[in-house]
Every structure is written in structure tokens, then in C-alpha cells.
Amino acid sequence: MPKKSKAQRPSRDEFELEELGNAVVEAHREKTEVLILLWQREPIQGKIVNLDGQTQLIHIESGYETIKVKFIDILSIQSAPQ
């Protein structure tokens, strides 16, 4: 029986990762509300409250909960609709 292939995370080049990283850092520094599109998960709207460089996790405060997301799972980040 053939092995089922797991869905592959989209590949991005160094430039795309740097742009994404800059957007994450800016949103954290400015404390702005953002909409984050994630790989194989629902989009999250909230404020970035912590950047953990060791675990590569982004902590997002959405409502009354804090959601931890892997940086590599972020597909895009944009300002939240008003």
C-alpha cells in the first residue's frame, strides 16, 4: 500500500522570511491589532504580546486567551480590519 504523503508547508525564500519577521517585530513593538493567516489553522486576530526566540513561538493575545503560534506556520500578517 502506498504511503500517504503529508501536506507540505509552503516553502519561502530568505527574503520572504525576513519580510515576515520584520512585520511581526513591528506589530509587537507598535502593539497593533493584526490578522495572522496560518498554515492549516484558522486565522487569528489579536495583538502580539511576546516573541520567544528560543522556541520560535509568537504569543498572540486574542480576546481573553493567549495563543502560541510557531513562526514557521505564519503565512502572512496584516493590519486587522477595523
In a domain, 27, yes or no: yes
CATH code at position 58:
2.30.30.100
Instruction: Give residue-wise pLDDT tens across range 55-82.
Output: 999 999 999 999 999 999 999 999 988 7
Count of domains in the chain? Answer: 1
Count other Cβ atoms within 10 Å, centred on residue 19: 13
Is residue 61 in a domain? yes
* Residue 8 placed within a domain: no
18-62 per-position pLDDT tens digit: 999 999 999 999 999 999 999 999 999 999 999 998 999 999 999
